[in-house]
Amino acid sequence: MGKLFVVPTPIGNLEDMSFRAVRILRESKLILAEDTRTTGVLLKHYDIKTPLRSYHMHNEHKTVHDLVQQLRTTDTMSLVSDAGMPGISDPGFLLIRAVVEDGQEVEVLPGANAALTGLVESGLPCDRFVFEGFLPVKKGRKTRLELLQNETRTMVFYESPHRILRTLKDFIEVFGIDRKAALSRELSKKFHETRRGSLADLLEGCQSHPPKGELVLTVSGV
What does R_g of the chain's alpha carbons equal in angstroms?
Answer: 19
- Domains of the chain (ranges; CATH) run 3-108 (3.40.1010.10), 114-219 (3.30.950.10)
Q: Give pLDDT tens digits for 95-139.
A: 999 999 999 999 999 999 999 999 999 999 999 999 999 999 989
Quick one: pLDDT band at residue 74, thresholds 50, 70, 90? confident
Question: Are the beta carbons of 52 and 39 closer than 8 angstroms?
Answer: yes
Whole-number Cα distances in Å, 15 to 21, 42, 46, 188: 12, 10, 10, 10
pLDDT of residue 215: 96
Percent of the chain clearing pLDDT 70 (strictly above): 100
Q: Give pLDDT tens digits for 171-182.
A: 999 999 999 999
Q: Give pLDDT tens digits for 24-68.
A: 999 999 999 999 999 999 999 999 999 999 998 888 888 999 999
Mean pLDDT of the chain: 95
Select from 205, 180, 195 the least CA-distant residue to 118. Answer: 195
- Whether the pTM exceeds 0.85: the reply is yes
Which residue type does 195 have? R
pLDDT of residue 60: 85
Question: Are the beta carbons of 96 and 106 closer than 8 angstroms?
Answer: yes
